[in-house]
Amino acid sequence: MRVGVPKEIKVQEHRVGLTPMAVREYLAAGHEVLVQSGAGLGIGAGDAAYAALGARIVPSAAEVFAVAEMIVKVKEPQPTEWKMLRAGQILFTYLHLAPDPEQARALIDSGCIAVAYETVTDERGGLPLLAPMSEVAGRLAIEAAGFALRKSAGGKGLLLGGVPGVLPARVVVIGGGVVGTHAARMAVGLGAEVTILERALPRLRQLDEMFQGRVRTRFSSAANIDEEVLAADVVVGAVLIPGASAPRVVTRGMLAQMRPLSVLVDVSIDQGGCFETSRPTTHDAPTYVVDNIVHYCVANMPGAVPATSSHALNHATLPFGLALAAQGERAMVHDAHLRQGLNIHRGRVTCAPVALALGLPFVSAHSALGMA
Ligand SMILES: NC(=O)c1ccc[n+]([C@@H]2O[C@H](COP(=O)([O-])OP(=O)(O)OC[C@H]3O[C@@H](n4cnc5c(N)ncnc54)[C@H](O)[C@@H]3O)[C@@H](O)[C@H]2O)c1
């Protein structure tokens, strides 16, 4: 198959759909790979790195879209890219269509076969193509908090790990999933005192075992959240109820009772935020202060470290991308988890939550792929 990698054009997006590592695997499997000039620059992979492997470097996105049978990207296509998509062309990328009717309409009209990273599943009920970005965001949350605690950044002047004889910072993580676990690992590694609040009992048991007593675990009740948040120097919001807006676990009223200049890092901001006072921020201006509490609410945290993020993402997408390249849309007939990723198939919406959110007719992926 001819596989195309356009340069990402969304503002502040420096990741790339295929890293040189992945391109080498596609080429070894007998596929042709077209890479738009400059596509890998954001992760330090110049055209020469791709060309040396045998990829074809093409000057424009238009050429990539015109020739490739499958487009591999990171972010959802932007309006200039909508027009370049062709009927029957496979698009493999993050889409997040539910809140984006315009994009959904454009993809429907294009006749393309759109497979969304974020809805591909695994046998444990997880979302394997979202997990690597949650790992990155969780780890970054503690770096961001550590920075925001510095006096030079307007913080309270506290070192996360303390030093011998001086107490470390208290880090409270609400939500013990992928983001929460990775945040806790970083905080523990730096020597902070860490508590994870989680609602699912089986997960609390796993966390207890995983951290071997190095982290306190607590059931996430309103009373326990109150107690922990009021004594915290850092609160990481990492809750998720799949398909729903994030629950508001910290209210505005609590801020005034918190330790002054404590830091709230709302990783769940991409689902609306889990603190009442959260609003999305960018890497250019990541923090703001409400009631003497510092808020960090960057909605695309992995964008800060595009090299790490691209490599992590490619490790997860590679097997699915290779299957699509080898078998085309039939790959989704053979793999039920990849089939979950099918959002739009030749003009029809095949993802039930997207159809419901946008009030569009729904056709099952099963029947769209001729499996019924
Ligand atoms: N800002 C960013 O750049 C960025 C990057 C990656 C992920 N995220 C977001 O981070 C959030 C967490 O992602 P994840 O991959 O860790 O999800 P996950 O499903 O692995 O974990 C979420 C956890 O929250 C728990 N939970 C739900 N309600 C709770 C409550 N009231 N109190 C305590 N725990 C509760 C769940 O039981 C689950 O264990 C998501 O909203 C995700 O979209 C944001």
Transcribe 8-70 into DSSP letters.
P-STT----SS-HHHHHHHHHTT-EEEEETTTTGGGT--HHHHHHHTPEEES-HHHHHHH-SE
Burial of 221 (0-12, 13-18, 19+ CB in 10 A): exposed
Please answer whether residues 84 and 96 qualify as being in contact, where contact means their C-beta atoms are separated by less than 8 angstroms: no
3-state secondary structure of 348: strand
Best CA proximity match to 217, nearest among 170, 262, 174: 174
Please work out whether the CB of residue 144 comes within 6 Å of at least one atom of ligand 1: no
The whole-number pLDDT of residue 288 equals 98
Residue 31 CA to ligand 1 center (angstroms) comes to 37
Residue nearest to atom 9 of ligand 1 (CA): 268
Q: In tens digits, what is the pLDDT along the chain, a chain of 372 residues?
A: 999 999 999 988 999 999 999 999 999 999 999 999 999 999 999 999 999 999 999 999 999 999 999 999 999 999 999 999 999 999 999 998 988 999 999 999 999 999 999 999 999 989 999 999 999 999 999 999 999 999 999 999 999 999 999 999 999 999 999 999 999 999 999 999 999 999 999 999 999 999 999 999 999 999 999 999 999 999 999 999 876 778 999 999 999 999 999 999 999 998 889 999 999 999 999 999 999 999 999 999 999 999 999 999 999 999 999 999 999 999 999 999 999 999 999 999 999 999 998 999 999 999 999 997
How far is Cα 144 from Cα 265, in angstroms, rounded to an integer?
Answer: 8
The whole-number pLDDT of residue 228 equals 98
DSSP element (H, E) containing 210:
helix 201-211
Residue 16 sits at the vertex; the CA angle it makes with 26 and 134, to the nearest 5 degrees, is 105
Please work out whether the CB of residue 273 comes within 6 Å of at least one atom of ligand 1: no
Provide the pairing of β-strand 342-345 with 113-116: antiparallel
The residue whose two tokens read 């993402």 is 313
How far is Cα 182 from Cα 341, in angstroms, rounded to an integer?
Answer: 25
How far is Cα 51 from Cα 29, in angstroms, rounded to an integer?
Answer: 17
How many Cβ atoms are within 10 Å of 52's Cβ, its own excluded? 11
| DSSP sequence for 100-122 | -HHHHHHHHHHT-EEEEGGG---
The whole-number pLDDT of residue 243 equals 64
Please answer whether residues 74 and 311 qualify as being in contact, where contact means their C-beta atoms are separated by less than 8 angstroms: no
Residue 235 CA to ligand 1 center (angstroms) comes to 14
Give the CA count within 13 Å in the CB-facing half-sphere of 334. Answer: 9
The whole-number pLDDT of residue 219 equals 98
Residue 80 CA to ligand 1 center (angstroms) comes to 32
How far is Cα 149 from Cα 144, in angstroms, rounded to an integer?
Answer: 9
- Beta carbons within 8 Å of 52's beta carbon, 6+ residues apart: none
Please work out whether the CB of residue 303 comes within 6 Å of at least one atom of ligand 1: no
Residue 237 CA to ligand 1 center (angstroms) comes to 8
Please answer whether residues 325 and 17 qualify as being in contact, where contact means their C-beta atoms are separated by less than 8 angstroms: no
How far is Cα 154 from Cα 224, in angstroms, rounded to an integer?
Answer: 29
Please work out whether the CB of residue 240 comes within 6 Å of at least one atom of ligand 1: yes
Please work out whether the CB of residue 178 comes within 6 Å of at least one atom of ligand 1: yes
How far is Cα 104 from Cα 324, in angstroms, rounded to an integer?
Answer: 21
Please answer whether residues 208 and 239 qualify as being in contact, where contact means their C-beta atoms are separated by less than 8 angstroms: no
Q: Which residues are catalytic?
A: 96, 270
Please answer whether residues 179 and 136 qualify as being in contact, where contact means their C-beta atoms are separated by less than 8 angstroms: no
